[in-house]
Amino acid sequence: MEKITALAIVCLEAKYLQNVGCQLEALSLAGYCE
C-alpha cells in the first residue's frame, strides 16, 4: 500500500506539470478513480 500511495502522490504532483496520463494511471492503480 505504501508504494501505491507514494506513486499516487508523485503523480498527483505531476498533475501540476500537466502530466495527466501519469495522474490518471496513478489514481486508477491506487483505486481512487471510482
Find cell 500537466 and name the residue: 18
pLDDT for position 28: 74
Question: Model's pTM, two decimal places?
Answer: 0.34
Give the separation between CA 16 and CA 3, rounded to whole angstroms: 21
Q: Looking at residue 15, what is its pLDDT?
A: 65
| Residue 12 pLDDT | 73
Q: How far apart are CA 17 and CA 34, in angstroms?
A: 23
Amino acid 32: pLDDT: 61
For the stretch 1-34, pLDDT in tens is: 677 788 777 777 766 666 566 667 777 777 765 4
Three-state SS sequence of the chain: CHHHHHHHHHHHHHHCCCCHHHHHHHHHHHCCCC
**pLDDT of the residue at 34:** 46
